[in-house]
Structure 1
């Protein structure tokens, strides 16, 4: 899963945090609320861990307990991303990466069926929306 960079934003790619870092990863950002099991912090080679951009503990627990449905989960997570702390974290992250490469790191086994696509879309939205 990746999104091509434009003059208005970075190239965003997604990788599992357990994979070794690559020289072209750019800014490496963990996008899970909890630290990945079995991974030493020194081995992760992270540049940032903005928890404001991760699903809340309540939403994460509900998802892992078998509910809500995926579309409901994604809508609730998108609502969480529409809060002031998440918008501020988004703005800071996008300012830091500029038009470079952003690699979102996750421990989930199937990033396509998780919170990650919602976050990729959110980060790819027009930056002017940060000032709503």
Structure 2
């Protein structure tokens, strides 16, 4: 099954084309109101563990290993993954994150995991 998944910084303005907006960070992003976020769901349970998040530290050199470690965590997180796949079965989902790095963050890794490409 192919899913319609987008990835976007939560600081970008919501758009009707986003579909269901899901925040996939464990920590609420600074300076973002719940109204501005326009979330369908805050699925903090699907975020990387605090230990993994702190180890990664958004260091691009650790990206490949971070993705592998996060994949292992996701493989053991059936409930949260099933909840997100359920939303994807209803249509487009935009995974939201707060990190500055648009290429190396948990939402990008999670989208790859859900697509079966990473």
TM tier, shorter chain? 0.7 to 0.9
Aligned in 2, Cα 1:18/1:26: closer, same or farther, shift over 3 Å? Answer: same
Q: Are residues 1:107 and 2:98 paired?
A: yes
| Shift in Å, 1:68 | 7.9
TM-score, structure 2 normalization: 0.85
Tell me if structure 2 keeps the 8 A contact 1:11–1:99.
no
> How do 1:1-132 residues align onto structure 2 when only pairs under 5 Å count?
8-64=1-57, 69-83=62-76, 86-125=77-116
Q: For the residues of structure 2 that align with 1:111 and 1:66, how far apart are their CA atoms?
A: 12
Q: Deviations over 1:26-60 (max 9, x none)?
A: 11000111100111112111111112211111111
Instruction: Tell me the SS of whatever aligns to 2:29.
Output: coil
Q: For the residues of structure 2 that align with 1:10 and 1:27, how far apart are their CA atoms?
A: 13
Tell me if structure 2 keeps the 8 A contact 1:9–1:98.
no
How many residues matched?
A: 116
Segments of structure 1 that go 5 or more residues without pairing to the other structure are: 1-7, 126-132
Q: Deviations over 1:3-24 (max 9, x none)?
A: xxxxx24310111101111011
| Shift in Å, 1:104 | 0.7
Instruction: Tell me which structure has the larger Cα radius of gyration.
Output: 1
